[in-house]
Structure 1
Amino acid sequence: MNITVIASTYNAEEWLEKVLLGYRNQSWREFELIVADDGSRDTTRALVERFAADYPVPLRHVWHADDGYRRQEILNAAILEARHDYILFTDGDCIPRRDFVQVHAEQAEPGRFLSGGYCKLSMKLSKAITADDIRDGRCFDRGWLRAQDRLGLSNTLKLGAGSAGGRLLDSITTTKPTFNNCNSSAWKADLLAINGYDERMKYGGPDRELGERLENHGIRGKQIRHRAVCVHLDHARGYKTRESVERNLAIRAQTRAQRITWTPYGIEKSTPHSPAG
């Protein structure tokens, strides 16, 4: 199975480099990686080009000019650029464990999207992780992480579950499977059928809204949060505003109440309709 991995980024080269190292270390090699760049400076492009020159899988940079927070627009552009039928979304601050892409590939099935999560690290831990720690898998070892800083129960469970334990925990968790940009995947045809991301939405839930439209379209979520493991590097969120969160909540409420599938503010700009009929 061939997969397109889309990793979003914005002016975060230090974190993106660690993420690129993580995808260079994957056990599953039948994928391409697209860096979906929401207007970063030239140093991000230079970083991607340096890695692309000697990368084990195709690595591409999709960019648009910096005009404020427009992540949904660059993600929609990356969806169109995807060369494979299945797309895995992540962020440029989430380092994937060695089996990350493999878990998504093995768990993918028609009529479903996959819902993963992340292990949120402190800034101290985020800074401490080196290229060797990523290559050798130490940054996913509970003992090593705890030796650097506090880890937390949720992170401990995800990092220590293993294949069988992760499957069990995913089957009994009360956490609803939602679409999360840091760690979720879906069929490209299903994403196109709902017209991708709603570009009206800024920070605060546009990925969840996309998942809700997938569900309205008949695509059910499948929980893999304890099996598809990535660690989330800490950062500030200066782009988060009360206004954007409130507007997004209103859009999501309308999506659920009216069982909307197609957004006219997505990949195609058109009047509302439902391709599913």
Structure 2
Amino acid sequence: MTTVSLIITTYNWEEALEAVLKSVLFQTRLPDEVVIADDGSREGTKALIESYQSRFPIPLIHSWQPDEGFRLAMSRNRAIANAVGEYLIMIDGDIVMPPSFIEDHIRAAKPGWFIQGGRVQVGPTRSRELMIKPMSLSPFASDIRNRKNTISSNLLSRLFSYQRDNDAATRGCNMSFWKAEVTKVNGFNEAFEGWGREDSEFVHRMLNSGYHRLYLKFAGAGLHLYHKENARDALPHNDAIFHNTVEKKLKWCELGLEQYLKAE
């Protein structure tokens, strides 16, 4: 069987992270380990993770780096380097997983492909409820958007999932890929500063390297807890990096995963 690592990114939001960790415990298929990609959270996050490590049924690893600004790509790369799984499922620390989430991603995984999962956008009232008690949501639940993504069906997923070899609707909050294939493009590009475009740039390097993206429908969708949008001050700088990758059809980034793999 393929070994699977679940990577959860986080930064100073313990309530959301705890809801995500609780949702791991209800999975129909547990990952082989969970790696928390922590971009410099305070002691509260460390204490939370330690409290779960003692009662978690699988290894729970805390991959932490100092808080020196928004360095999501670096935190992801460090976590990927630490991960032992052959297949990596990556979510944000505000994505509560329905019970079949891990199983859905594994079922759809195949060599040469990476997966873009969907999300249900959850409003503030329902988000507070999910942080108290993670639960599945029906298409008729109140205070949600993209409600069709609450439908989980193996048959519908096989019929409606499709190849989407562009960067449209890229959401790094719910993706999965083979570690060996991500290593060949050097992971995520740490030249990005602040929020924006790092996920789309990664997708382009994967596509430029000959891999295909599966847009997963009616399966593997996460429940995205409500929060205010991130600041977008860094977009002009990040746009320039993104467009350079697109125009030059780059397959590799200079500042990426390789440095941590060498350090192992």
Q: Please, what TM-score do these two structures have when normalized by structure 2?
A: 0.90
1:169 Cα offset (Å): 3.2
Aligned 8 A contact 1:115 1:225 in 2: no
Residue of structure 2 in register with 1:66 after alignment: 67
Q: Structure 1: which 5+ residue stretches go unaligned?
A: 270-277
Task: Name the SS of the counterpart of 1:129 in structure 2.
Answer: helix
Aligned 8 A contact 1:177 1:222 in 2: no
Partner amino acid, structure 2, of 1:249: D
Partner amino acid, structure 2, of 1:156: R
1:168 Cα offset (Å): 2.8
CA distance in 2, matches of 1:177, 1:116: 13
Residue of structure 1 in register with 2:49 after alignment: 48
CA distance in 2, matches of 1:128, 1:170: 30
Residue of structure 2 in register with 1:157 after alignment: 148
Partner amino acid, structure 1, of 2:126: L
Cα root mean square deviation, aligned: 2.1
Q: Sequence identity, in percent? A: 30
CA distance in 1, matches of 2:217, 2:80: 23
Q: How does 1:128-277 map to 2 (within 5 A)?
A: 128-132=129-133, 134=134, 137=135, 139-143=136-140, 145-146=141-142, 149=143, 151-152=144-145, 155-171=146-162, 180-201=171-192, 202-238=194-230, 240-242=231-233, 244-268=234-258
Q: Please, what TM-score do these two structures have when normalized by structure 1?
A: 0.86
CA distance in 2, matches of 1:164, 1:267: 37
Task: Name the SS of the counterpart of 2:147 in structure 1.
Answer: helix
1:70 Cα offset (Å): 0.9
Aligned 8 A contact 2:94 2:224 in 1: yes
Task: Name the SS of the counterpart of 2:22 in structure 1.
Answer: helix
Residue of structure 1 in register with 2:28 after alignment: 27
Aligned 8 A contact 1:179 1:210 in 2: no
TM-aligned CA distance change 1:175 to 1:64, over 3 Å: closer
TM-aligned CA distance change 1:175 to 1:228, over 3 Å: farther
CA distance in 1, matches of 2:248, 2:195: 22
Deviation sequence 1:202-245 (CA, Å, 0-9, x none)? 3112112111101111111011143111100011234x223x11
1:14 Cα offset (Å): 0.7
CA distance in 2, matches of 1:124, 1:176: 31
CA distance in 2, matches of 1:14, 1:181: 21
**Number of residue equivalences:** 257
- Structure whose residues are more often helix by fraction: 1
CA distance in 1, matches of 2:16, 2:37: 14
Deviation sequence 1:168-223 (CA, Å, 0-9, x none)? 33249999676532111111111111111111113112112111101111111011
Task: Name the SS of the counterpart of 1:212 in structure 2.
Answer: helix
Q: Structure 2: which 5+ residue stretches go unaligned?
A: 260-264
Task: Name the SS of the counterpart of 1:140 in structure 2.
Answer: coil
Task: Name the SS of the counterpart of 1:185 in structure 2.
Answer: strand
